[in-house]
Structure 1
């Protein structure tokens, strides 16, 4: 029973934090081109690491 209560509290806090982050992201002036470039660069690095087998 205590696990369900802990899980419920965790999920409630997580939902609140996600909604708060989404609300702040709407208000912020973000350069989405730069964010997309950074995310793409990281994804490409991981993909090339996986493809070549380098560690």
Structure 2
């Protein structure tokens, strides 16, 4: 029972932080091309590490 309450509180806290982050990003003027490139580069690095087994 305590685990369910703890997990529920963690999920609620993550939800609140996600909402605050989305509201902050909505008003910010960001370079989405650069952000998407960085995320794609990181995903590609993890995928290549998984495929090749090196790194």
Q: Secondary structure at the match of 1:29?
A: coil
**TM-score, normalised with respect to structure 2:** 0.77
Give unmatched runs, 5+ long, in structure 2: none
Aligned length: 55
Query: Judging changes above 3 Å, is the alpha-carbon distance between structure 1 residues 5 and 37 closer, same or farther for their aligned structure 2 residues?
Result: same
CA RMSD of aligned residues (A): 1.5
Which structure: larger Rg? Answer: 1
Give unmatched runs, 5+ long, in structure 1: none
CA distance in 2, matches of 1:30, 1:19: 18
